[in-house]
């Protein structure tokens, strides 16, 4: 589905459950509250980006258009987002339960309060992501990059953290009794 077709769909019904949006360029779109459950969003581009026109004679930026994709509260239950670029996207309170985010780029994403339970996050890049209060029960985050990620109040019961890179700040928050692969976590100081 191309971006124009997607915009037409959004003008009416906001139920895109089961839609195939693979490889679509949806940067800058407001998808707040959209039902994308069981949708195929593999390799989709949703990252925030900045467009600027140029510089004046004093090298001051003339025009800046910062577009942030908003998926706050979206229902993405069971959606396939494998290798999707969701950098800096607003995903607060989004539902990813039972979804596939393996190898997804979620650096800087706002995931506070998101439901990521039973989600495949293998080798996902969550560097600098805000996971404050996120539900990661039974999520597979093995091999994931959680450097500089905010894991405050994140629920990690049964989460697989084997070979994940996690800041030592959260070493007391995560224990072998609530997470799998605890002994294989790659603790980092930054």
Question: Which of 26-35, 98-107, 169-178 is predicted least confidently?
Answer: 26-35
Hey, what CATH topology would domain 1-190 get?
Pectate Lyase C-like (2.160.20)
Instruction: Specify the 3-state DSSP secondary structure of 64.
Output: strand
pLDDT per residue over 34-66, tens digit each? 777 887 877 777 655 444 444 445 544 444 444
Domain boundaries, given as residue ranges, for the chain: 1-190
Note whether 16 and 34 are within 8 A (CB). Answer: yes
Phi, psi for 48 (deg, rounded to 5) = -70, 150
Identify the CA nearest to 90 among candidates 7, 33, 172, 137. 33
Q: Give the total residue count for the chain.
A: 190
Contacts for 107 with CB less than 8 Å, ≥ 6 apart: 87, 88, 125, 126, 127, 128, 129
The model scores a pTM over 0.95: no
């Amino acid at each position: 589905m191309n971006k124009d077709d997607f915009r037409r769909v959004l003008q009416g019904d906001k139920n895109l459950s089961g839609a195939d949006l693979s490889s679509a360029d949806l940067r800058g779109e407001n998808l707040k509250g959209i039902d994308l459950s069981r949708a195929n969003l593999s390799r989709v581009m949703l990252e925030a980006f900045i467009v600027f026109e140029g510089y004046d004679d004093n090298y001051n930026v003339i025009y800046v258009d910062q577009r942030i994709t908003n998926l706050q509260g979206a229902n993405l239950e069971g959606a396939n987002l494998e290798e999707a670029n969701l950098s800096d996207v607003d995903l607060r309170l989004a539902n990813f339960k039972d979804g596939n985010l393996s190898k997804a780029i979620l650096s800087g994403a706002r995931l506070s309060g998101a439901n990521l339970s039973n989600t495949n996050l293998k080798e996902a890049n969550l560097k600098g992501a805000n996971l404050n209060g996120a539900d990661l029960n039974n999520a597979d985050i093995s091999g994931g990059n959680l450097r500089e990620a905010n894991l405050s109040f994140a629920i990690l019961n049964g989460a697989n953290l084997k070979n994940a890179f996690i800041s030592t700040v959260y070493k007391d928050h995560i224990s072998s009794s609530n997470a799998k692969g605890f002994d294989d976590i790659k603790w980092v100081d930054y």
